[in-house]
């Protein structure tokens, strides 16, 4: 516990300030402390020696454990000014005493949590003073400094909120950053307190704490890098996870740190290459997903900066595990959209995966290419679209259906562009074959395939929602440009639709007559049977 002033020592007070002691009521004590706080606030560093005993007196147990919040706050402001006035040598020399004083100051900083509170200005002054003077740097020399730093950092992350101004946040950072940048070590506990704020669900629960942690990491990246590297080395290579509270979120951390400060991970990424070749399927799956996100992000240049890791990642397209291959294929959409330079690699690997033995992977190949083409058709090469064309003949209906619908929607999107620009003309040429491929799908004997083709015809090729004149133009265009095989299929489609309409009309006519003769019932049943089979 902080010691009081030496017995018998005379306490010297600044001019205009009265004695403060434990034998006065709260109101009078607060009044005198306010005057003392103002005096210390206006005081420079000259003639500070005469206030040494007063500084020790203010740090005594009576004041820092006082039941009044106002008393504690005023004493904290006075002590903060003591550190400023006496800098660089504080009047408090005992390590235990210093520890108690700084833990006391941290507790008072909790008052920053409500910027609308009446006393906030005084709490802000306390923060500003401690940050400007770098008072907490004194703790770097203490044996128990990590306990103090952990308490301070945890409090800052707990109280920061969207009501705080940029000035408050910057003072917090000014107070915290030197404790990382200038300290001899950073404990795992302190590292956990920082890192937990950049991963879900904590990231979303307190966005301001995330921003504070992000800025802290950016400002101290060089100093904090060795400790982060040691943490990942212990978790990834040595399997030491019990020492950290965030070790269960190792891949989330790598992703977020790569977004915040990629340079921190320069020594960590080669370890991921090793993990990509792990015998553990779950581990390969997790690392593949992590790298897929990191490589495919919009502004990522990781594939260029780390070619060996990129090539190792591409190898997962041929992984023995279907779930790993699925992840690669599903993320290919992002690569095709965000990274033109990587489209060649993606095309080569999707070429293999479109023949994958797993139906769902072939389905994902089609889905990824179509999704990318809908967003950026000029960026999707004809070879990729050819993969979709090939899948319209897949042995599984699920894949055929996705391929046919995808081509139909792409055709509709391009043909709906009214502007007659050179770019649109070129796009129309590129998608012209799609209508033929879709209509030729009507040759399939499976009724489900035929229904899909009819649906595409009515919604994409000759959309039913257009007015009659425009629909006739679309139909005329089809007849004028379809190949002979597709023309025959289209005639068959129209003939079938006409036949179905006739049977429905006849069925409704029989039903409206309400005839109950055997011949009428037999005729109705024959029409129902015909309709159900088409």
User: Tens of pLDDT along 461-500?
Assistant: 999 999 999 999 999 999 999 999 999 999 999 998 887 7
Of 138-147, 285-294, 384-393, least confident by mean pLDDT is: 138-147
pLDDT at 244: 83
- Rounded CA Rg of the chain: 37
Give the Å distances, CA to CA, from 416 to 310, 412, 428, 473. 39, 6, 10, 13
What one-character DSSP code corresponds to residue 458? Answer: I
Q: Exposure pattern of 319-346 as b/e (b: 16+ CB <10 Å)?
A: beeebbbbbbbbbbbbbbbbbeebbebb
Query: Within 10 Å of residue 288's Cβ, how many Cβ atoms?
Result: 26
- For the chain, helix, strand, coil in percent to 5 are 75, 0, 25
- Integer distance in angstroms from the first to the last C-alpha of the chain? 91
Instruction: Quote the CA–CA distance of 295 and 291 in Å, as a whole number.
Output: 6
pLDDT at 529: 63
CB contact set of 168 (below 8 Å; sequence gap of 6+):
112, 115, 124, 127, 160
CB contact set of 290 (below 8 Å; sequence gap of 6+):
251, 254, 255, 272
Length, in residues, of the chain: 534
Whole-prediction pTM? 0.86
CA-wise closest residue to 77 among 26, 116, 20, 35:
35
pLDDT at 318: 98
pLDDT at 136: 97
Q: What percent of the chain has pLDDT over 90?
A: 82
Give the Å distances, CA to CA, from 219 to 170, 216, 229. 11, 5, 17
Q: Is 498 exposed, middle or buried (0-12, 13-18, 19+ CB in 10 A)?
A: exposed
Q: Are 479 and 494 in contact (CB under 8 A)?
A: no
- The dihedral sign for the CA sequence 80, 85, 88, 92: negative
Instruction: Quote the CA–CA distance of 161 and 165 in Å, as a whole number.
Output: 9
What one-character DSSP code corresponds to residue 71? Answer: H
Instruction: Quote the CA–CA distance of 79 and 101 in Å, as a whole number.
Output: 9
pLDDT, tens digit, 9 for 90 and up, residues 78-117: 999 999 999 888 899 899 999 999 999 999 999 999 999 9
- The dihedral sign for the CA sequence 214, 220, 222, 226: negative
- The dihedral sign for the CA sequence 305, 307, 313, 317: positive
pLDDT, tens digit, 9 for 90 and up, residues 170-219: 999 999 999 999 999 999 999 999 999 999 999 999 999 999 999 999 99
Residue 145 has pLDDT above 50, yes or no: yes
- Domain range annotation of the chain: 1-142, 430-534
Confidence band of 1 (pLDDT split at 50, 70, 90) = very low
Give the Å distances, CA to CA, from 73 to 146, 258, 293, 356. 24, 41, 48, 69
Tokens of 211: 């921003």
pLDDT, tens digit, 9 for 90 and up, residues 232-280: 998 888 777 667 889 889 999 999 999 999 999 999 999 999 999 999 9
* Site of tokens 């040598």: 89
pLDDT at 48: 72
pLDDT, tens digit, 9 for 90 and up, residues 20-42: 988 889 999 999 999 999 999 99
Question: Comparing 124 with 522, which gets the higher pLDDT?
Answer: 124
Helix pair 188-195, 207-219: axis angle to 10 deg: 130
Q: Exposure pattern of 413-449 as b/e (b: 16+ CB <10 Å)?
A: ebbeeeeeeeeeeebeebbebbbbbbbbbbebeeeeb
Q: Are 399 and 366 in contact (CB under 8 A)?
A: yes
Confidence band of 503 (pLDDT split at 50, 70, 90) = low
Give the Å distances, CA to CA, from 510 to 73, 214, 497, 515, 528. 93, 75, 20, 7, 12
Q: Is 204 exposed, middle or buried (0-12, 13-18, 19+ CB in 10 A)?
A: exposed
Instruction: Quote the CA–CA distance of 292 and 301 in Å, as a whole number.
Output: 13
């Amino acid at each position: 516990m902080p010691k009081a002033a030496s017995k018998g020592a005379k306490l010297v007070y600044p001019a205009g300030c009265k004695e403060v002691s434990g034998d006065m009521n709260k109101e009078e004590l607060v009044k005198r402390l306010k005057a003392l706080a103002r005096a210390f606030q206006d005081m420079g560093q000259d003639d500070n020696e005469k206030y040494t005993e007063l500084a020790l007196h203010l740090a005594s147990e009576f004041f820092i454990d006082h039941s009044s919040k106002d008393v504690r706050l005023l004493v904290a402001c006075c002590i903060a000014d003591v550190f400023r006035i006496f800098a660089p040598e504080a009047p408090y020399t005992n390590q235990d005493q210093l520890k108690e004083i700084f833990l006391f100051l941290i507790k008072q900083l909790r008052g920053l949590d409500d910027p609308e509170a009446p006393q906030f200005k005084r709490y802000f002054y306390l923060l500003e003073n401690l940050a400007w003077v770098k008072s907490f740097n004194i703790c770097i020399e203490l044996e128990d400094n990590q306990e103090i730093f952990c308490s301070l950092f945890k409090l800052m992350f707990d109280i920061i909120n969207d009501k705080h101004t940029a000035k408050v946040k910057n003072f917090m950072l000014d107070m915290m950053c030197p404790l990382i940048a200038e300290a001899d070590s950073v404990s795992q506990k302190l590292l956990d307190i920082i890192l937990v704020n950049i991963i879900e669900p904590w990231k979303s629960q307190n966005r301001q704490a995330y921003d504070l942690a992000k800025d802290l990491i950016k400002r101290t990246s060089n100093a904090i890098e060795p400790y982060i590297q040691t943490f990942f080395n212990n978790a990834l290579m040595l399997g030491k996870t019990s020492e950290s509270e965030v070790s269960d979120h190792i891949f989330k951390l790598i992703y977020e740190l790569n977004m915040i400060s990629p340079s921190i991970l320069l020594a960590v990424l080669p370890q991921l290459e090793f993990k990509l070749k792990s015998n553990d399927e779950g581990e390969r799956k997790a690392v593949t997903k992590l790298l897929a996100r990191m490589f495919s992000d919009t502004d990522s240049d990781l594939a260029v900066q780390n070619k060996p890791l990129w090539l190792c990642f591409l190898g997962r397209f041929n992984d023995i595990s279907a779930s790993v291959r699925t992840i690669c294929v599903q993320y290919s959409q992002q690569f095709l959209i965000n990274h033109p330079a990587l489209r060649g690699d993606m095309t080569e690997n999707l070429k293999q995966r479109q023949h994958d033995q797993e139906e769902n992977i072939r389905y994902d190949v089609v889905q990824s290419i179509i999704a990318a083409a809908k967003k950026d058709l000029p960026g999707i090469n004809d070879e990729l679209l050819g993969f979709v064309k090939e899948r319209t003949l897949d042995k599984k209906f699920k894949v055929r259906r996705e391929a046919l619908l995808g081509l139909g929607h792409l055709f509709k999107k391009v043909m709906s562009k009214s502007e007659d620009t050179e770019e649109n003309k070129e796009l129309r040429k590129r998608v012209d074959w799609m209508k033929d491929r879709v209509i030729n799908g009507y040759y399939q004997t499976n009724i489900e395939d035929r229904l899909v083709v009819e649906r595409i015809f009515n919604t994409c090729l000759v959309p039913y929602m257009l007015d009659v004149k425009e629909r006739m133009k679309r139909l005329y265009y089809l007849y004028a440009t379809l190949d002979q095989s597709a023309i025959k299929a289209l005639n068959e489609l129209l003939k079938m639709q006409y036949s179905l309409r006739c049977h429905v009309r006849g069925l409704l006519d029989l039903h409206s007559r309400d005839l109950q003769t055997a011949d009428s019932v037999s005729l109705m049943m024959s029409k129902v049977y015909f309709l159900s089979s088409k």
